[in-house]
A and B are shown apart, each in its own frame.
Chain A
Amino acid sequence: MNTPSPVIEMRAITKSFPGVKALKGVSFAAYPGEVHALAGENGAGKSTLMKILSGVYRLDDGAVVVGGEERHFTHPLEAIRAGIAVIYQEFSLLPERTVAQNIFLGREPTRFGLVDHRAMNREARRVLSLFGSAHRIEADTVVADLDVASQQLVEIAKAVSLDVRVIVMDEPTAALNETECEVLFSLVDTLKKRDVAIIYITHRMREITRLADRVTVLKDGETAVSFDEVPEPDAIVRAMVGRDIGDFYAAPATPQEIGDIVLSVRHGGNDRLRNISFDLRAGEVVGIAGLQGAERVALAKAIFGISPFTEGEVMLAGKSARFNHPRDAIRAGIGLLPGDRKAEGLVLMQSVTDNGMLTARALSALAGRADATAFATTEEMDGLLQDLDVRAGSFSQEIKALSGGNQQKAIVARWLALAPRLLIFIEPTRGIDVNAKAGIYHLMRDLARKGTAIMMISSDLPEVLGAADRILVMRGGELVAAFPRGVSEADVMLAATGEEAVAA
């Protein structure tokens, strides 16, 4: 195997934050035309390493070498000029601008001093067509109207149009479904052929097996292991977690554990949903599978009263339960963990305890004591947060600084304080590391054992298959199939895409 010189090389990088040594002498290199997968749990230092590469953070010690030359980036723009682009999990697109405007932000083609929209759209279409997306994304669409997957493609198109030599993708498939993942994978292949070096951060073994040429695993700020060829997935997982993960998913419910019907929907519909009928039982974890656009989240929002059912009948524990406001749904015993934690779940400037107490306080008298609501006291909440193993310097610190998994657990604590009958999880493990994922699955199961009905909406099909007792499949706003546990991935996909008649 001949070794071309690396496009970028990071040598013995060290970086400390107040109280934490985030990186301890990590070395890393990326080669043209290769995918170098970077794996590791959250907090292992992957993001910090990439933020040093892209000029967001400055290193304490070590060196970043780009094209054989040592560089000290002090601003992300310098890294971009040096040919390094990062596609973050949180998109940096401007939602109210068009696709083309986003791609050419800050370097719009001009004509007579004015922005040449026609040229810009043409060029945007050319870039999108490079990886076969011109047909699914129009250059003049407003970004806010695109689904998450398309937004991601725009983000990548932006990087490609900059003619970068290195693209860092931070968990690019987190928000994508199966077909969209395939689009992304073939895009990665295209980029490889164009001799771009790709640094691919992921937790998913399947993607590493499919895409990577090299793998580096970080653990606790150090290189746990670095493979020049892709090994068996088990070897990677062991290096990440430091243990085998046989008990990754919790055991399913036994027939005795499944109780009475908690929620029952009959012929429910609104402008996005049609003729929805299903039951959720106490003690049962029900997974909702489907492609992007299947309106799974719309179903959750209808039950929770955000965009209510306009027709049909909903019963919760025997009472009519068509809610027009989340507050009413919460009062009746429904909880919802949103998929977009930062936008819909967290109050980021407030403390961890405050985030946990939010709903308990919201349902109590306004002039009542904040540290002792009818549902929980702050001491009880702190105990609950500790039981859930929420890791924070102190629960009085801002929740903003916590990792995704710990933030998610704090929101779980928020609902636990209310002891809801039904808890809806939307994308519960998005952006969460492997260990914390297992923790969430076991937590869901523990809740179910205590008699809560759990509804789980996830785009991660293996997760739905592994964690749910029953799987409902949605397509185009309808429930199209129901499967028991143990169904194959292929059967669910067939139902979700509607390519064949479905036998339930």
Chain B
Amino acid sequence: MSQQTVSSQQAPGAPRSGRLPKINPVFFVLAALLVAITLSNPNFVEPTGYMNFLKRAAPLAILAAGQIYVIVSGGFDLSVGSLITLTVVGSSMLLNNNADATWWVIPIMYAVGLAVGVVNGLVVSFLRVPSLIATLGMMITLNGAAFMWSSGSPRGYLPETFRFFGRVNIQGIPLIQFLPVALLVMLAAGSYLFWLMHRTNLGRMLHAIGDNPRAAQMSGVPIERVRITAFVVSSLSAVTAGILLGGFAGVSTDVGVGYELQAITACVIGGAQLLGGRGSVPASIAGALTLTAIFTLLNFIGLPKPVRDVVQGVILIVAVVLATYRRNRAGGT
């Protein structure tokens, strides 16, 4: 879905194949779900309704926008959920209820994220461990680390200075009344990751190595560097998501559980090719919003958490099947 990247419509010698600009179906699905939510709960069109929805979706959206980097490059990053946990737990340990420590704790958390991403990338690139296994190992390691650090009983508070990002709403904005900081963070991270994926050489290199690593290498693509960058982007997005989640979910050792699969599901709903070579940041964010909207709807209907899990699993499979079906039909031979 790199529809924005290259726009070369001139090829006068050849017949134009009358193509309409293709809109990713995820946007229609999302729109339909938002209508459904509004019908079942008219309050949703009030700022408190949709702003809280966006605020709740922001961590997953950022996570999906990072995960798509790894997926496009032909891998998976399963370590992001436990990195979220480590961010929340680690921050609470370092902060130790000291509101003035936030300014240095956050950079430390990003440094941890950077290290995690680099290690993931190095293990996958140089030790040739499949990313699924490498990041699974990292996931278990980080979960254990979070547990050890907090001795199993994390301290229950994060100071307001830290919770600012995930929790605070900026009041008094005309028309929309208030604006959550989390939404601003999502927009900023989303725009930056959009630019990096769809406007820079890095983005094209990610697509190339996910599509055909051998051809990419023989064309001079610095495969290892690109792949490591993908894992670093994913890890840094996880730290960002962790900071937001710490803001409104509080401290526990299971705060990040399941987020890695939700992020992958969101990317797939957004039409990403599971083995690499194709994927879009806006569509992945839309996928995250879609997933959150589905959960919201199930909540309104009053279905319990296990049902949500079942639904998420089914959605993941259906999305992959649909994507494959669409590609086969479009692909010709």
* Interfacial residues, chain A to chain B (CB-CB below 8 A): 17-19, 56, 304, 306, 326-327, 330-331, 336, 338, 343-351, 353-354, 357-359, 361-371, 373, 378-379, 382, 386, 389, 391-397, 400-401, 414
**Interface 9-residue window, one of B49-57, B89-97, B222-230:** B222-230
* Interface status of B48 (Cβ within 8 A of chain A): no
Find out whether the CB atom of A367 lies under 8 angstroms from the CB atom of B10. Answer: no
Find out whether the CB atom of A19 lies under 8 angstroms from the CB atom of B15. Answer: yes
* Interface status of B201 (Cβ within 8 A of chain A): yes
How many angstroms between the C-alpha atoms of A400 and B19 in the bound complex? 17
Residue from B6, B14, B219, B229 in contact with A358 in the complex, judged by beta carbons closer than 8 Å: B219
Q: Knowing A350-B277, A359-B220 touch, does A367 contact B202 (C-beta < 8 A)?
A: yes
* Interface status of B141 (Cβ within 8 A of chain A): no
Find out whether the CB atom of B332 lies under 8 angstroms from the CB atom of A370. Answer: no
Residue from A346, A362, A379 in contact with B222 in the complex, judged by beta carbons closer than 8 Å: A362
How many angstroms between the C-alpha atoms of A336 and B277 in the bound complex? 23
Say how far A397's CB is from chain B's closest CB, in angstroms.
7
How many angstroms between the C-alpha atoms of A346 and B208 in the bound complex? 9
Say how far B182's CB is from chain A's closest CB, in angstroms.
26
Give the residues in chain B near A401, CB-CB below 8 Å.
332
Find out whether the CB atom of A373 lies under 8 angstroms from the CB atom of B217. Answer: no
Find out whether the CB atom of B216 lies under 8 angstroms from the CB atom of A396. Answer: no
* Interfacial residues, chain B to chain A (CB-CB below 8 A): 2, 5-11, 13-19, 196, 199-205, 207-208, 211-212, 214-222, 225-226, 229, 273, 277-278, 331-333
Say how far B217's CB is from chain A's closest CB, in angstroms.
6
Find out whether the CB atom of A395 lies under 8 angstroms from the CB atom of B11. Answer: yes
Find out whether the CB atom of B212 lies under 8 angstroms from the CB atom of A366. Answer: no
Residue from B10, B196, B202, B218 in contact with A344 in the complex, judged by beta carbons closer than 8 Å: B218
Find out whether the CB atom of B225 lies under 8 angstroms from the CB atom of A366. Answer: yes
How many angstroms between the C-alpha atoms of A304 and B217 in the bound complex? 12
Find out whether the CB atom of A327 lies under 8 angstroms from the CB atom of B222. Answer: yes
Residue from A367, A378, A382 in contact with B196 in the complex, judged by beta carbons closer than 8 Å: A367
How many angstroms between the C-alpha atoms of A382 and B8 in the bound complex? 7
Say how far B303's CB is from chain A's closest CB, in angstroms.
38
Q: How many A-B residue pairs have CB under 8 A?
A: 150
How many angstroms between the C-alpha atoms of A349 and B5 in the bound complex? 14
Find out whether the CB atom of B6 lies under 8 angstroms from the CB atom of A362. Answer: no
Find out whether the CB atom of B17 lies under 8 angstroms from the CB atom of A330. Answer: no
Find out whether the CB atom of A373 lies under 8 angstroms from the CB atom of B201. Answer: yes
Residue from B6, B13, B215, B226 in contact with A391 in the complex, judged by beta carbons closer than 8 Å: B13
Give the residues in chain B near A357, CB-CB below 8 Å.
204
User: Can you name the residue of chain B whose Cβ is closest to the Cβ of A398?
Assistant: B331
Find out whether the CB atom of B204 lies under 8 angstroms from the CB atom of A361. Answer: yes
How many angstroms between the C-alpha atoms of A312 and B273 in the bound complex? 45
Q: What are 19 pairs between A and B in contact, CB < 8 Å?
A: A19-B18, A344-B218, A349-B278, A350-B2, A351-B2, A351-B6, A354-B2, A358-B208, A358-B216, A364-B201, A366-B225, A367-B196, A370-B204, A371-B6, A378-B6, A389-B13, A391-B14, A393-B17, A396-B8
How many angstroms between the C-alpha atoms of A392 and B15 in the bound complex? 8
Give the residues in chain A near B208, CB-CB below 8 Å.
347, 350, 354, 358, 362
Give the residues in chain B near A326, CB-CB below 8 Å.
217-220
Find out whether the CB atom of B218 lies under 8 angstroms from the CB atom of A395. Answer: no
Q: Knowing A326-B218, A359-B219, A367-B201 touch, does A394 contact B16 (C-beta < 8 A)?
A: yes
Find out whether the CB atom of B6 lies under 8 angstroms from the CB atom of A386. Answer: no
Give the residues in chain B near A336, CB-CB below 8 Å.
218
User: Can you name the residue of chain B whose Cβ is closest to the Cβ of A383?
Assistant: B10
Say how far A388's CB is from chain B's closest CB, in angstroms.
11
Say how far B274's CB is from chain A's closest CB, in angstroms.
13
How many angstroms between the C-alpha atoms of A414 and B15 in the bound complex? 23
Find out whether the CB atom of B11 lies under 8 angstroms from the CB atom of A394. Answer: yes
Residue from B9, B201, B226, B332 in contact with A396 in the complex, judged by beta carbons closer than 8 Å: B9
Find out whether the CB atom of A382 lies under 8 angstroms from the CB atom of B2. Answer: no
Q: Knowing A330-B220, A369-B199 touch, does A400 contact B6 (C-beta < 8 A)?
A: no
How many angstroms between the C-alpha atoms of A386 and B14 in the bound complex? 10
Find out whether the CB atom of A414 lies under 8 angstroms from the CB atom of B331. Answer: no
Say how far A12's CB is from chain B's closest CB, in angstroms.
24
Find out whether the CB atom of A347 lies under 8 angstroms from the CB atom of B7. Answer: no
Give the residues in chain A near B215, CB-CB below 8 Å.
338, 343-347
How many angstroms between the C-alpha atoms of A361 and B219 in the bound complex? 10
How many angstroms between the C-alpha atoms of A354 and B215 in the bound complex? 13
User: Can you name the residue of chain A whose Cβ is closest to the Cβ of B221?
Assistant: A362
How many angstroms between the C-alpha atoms of A353 and B10 in the bound complex? 12
Say how far A430's CB is from chain B's closest CB, in angstroms.
16
Find out whether the CB atom of A370 lies under 8 angstroms from the CB atom of B13. Answer: no
- Assuming A330-B220, A350-B211, what are 16 further A-B pairs, CB within 8 angstroms? A56-B333, A336-B218, A338-B218, A347-B277, A350-B2, A354-B207, A358-B208, A359-B220, A362-B201, A370-B201, A391-B14, A393-B11, A395-B6, A395-B8, A396-B6, A397-B17
**Pairs of residues from A and B, 5 with the lowest C-beta to C-beta distance, nearest first:** A393-B17, A347-B211, A362-B220, A330-B220, A361-B201
Most A Cβ at <10 Å: residue of B2, B7, B215 = B215
